[in-house]
Structure 1
């Protein structure tokens, strides 16, 4: 169960980051909803950094899960994941005006908490 939760957690993060870039950057660019300006460049840059950070972190965690799964059961990896989730949540509240990215990160945090609890439970059974 723990392995499934880990893959679901970081897969969700990767999926969420990909969807964030596709919806908030690519589709808006294709529909030309924002006029070229410094504000538009900042908007796209912030959203690309937000989504790309999630994609890279999620893919890295999935690679670690594939090749060295025991690393994700240790407290440094769990702490880094919670700190990253907290940073994305704060970034979302301060810089992103709509709620969908915040909901995506809250789902990631819930999945991460479930994976952490299952890791501690599975570790005690070993």
Structure 2
């Protein structure tokens, strides 16, 4: 039972990361570009570049994680996979704290981190119950 919950939590966390990153890209890059909210210049280039790199990095990691989970690999269920995921979410959270002045990206990363911690707990629970 806990193995099923663990897989659902893994799919939920990376699926939510993918969804929030795609929406972040559409709202903060494409929508502002199409509406012409930022005048051309160095500041706009840095803004678009930062938000593009931030969201597309999340998209790439989430898609890769979902592919790894879909192939049946247990790498992301293991300690190193969980450590990698939590370290990347922490790095993205630091980027949010330093460069983003608004709250929604921080909230999305908090939700992803709670789902990842829940997945780690269920992974630990399934390993300890299998050993008993």
TM-score of the pair, normalised by structure 1: 0.97
Q: Does 1:27 align with 2:31?
A: yes
The 5-angstrom pairing of residues 75-114 of structure 1 reads 75-114=79-118
**How far apart are the structure 2 equivalents of 1:66 and 1:123?**
20
Query: Which of these two proteins has the greater Rg computed from alpha carbons?
Result: 2
**RMSD between superposed Cα atoms in Å:** 0.8
Q: 1:10 matched to which residue of 2?
A: 14
Greater shift after overlay, 35-44 or 61-70?
Answer: 61-70
Q: Distance in 1 between matches of 2:21 and 2:88?
A: 13
- Following superposition, the deviation at residue 69 of structure 1 comes to 3.3
**How many pairs were matched up?**
126
Alpha-carbon deviation of 1:125?
2.0
TM-score, normalization: structure 2?
Answer: 0.93
- Deviation string 1:65-124 (CA, Å, 9 cap, x unpaired) is 011331111111111101100000000000111111011101110000001001111122
Q: What does residue 41 of structure 1 align with?
A: 45
- 1:52 counterpart residue number: 56
SS across alignment from 1:68? coil
Structure 2, unaligned stretches of length 5 or more? none
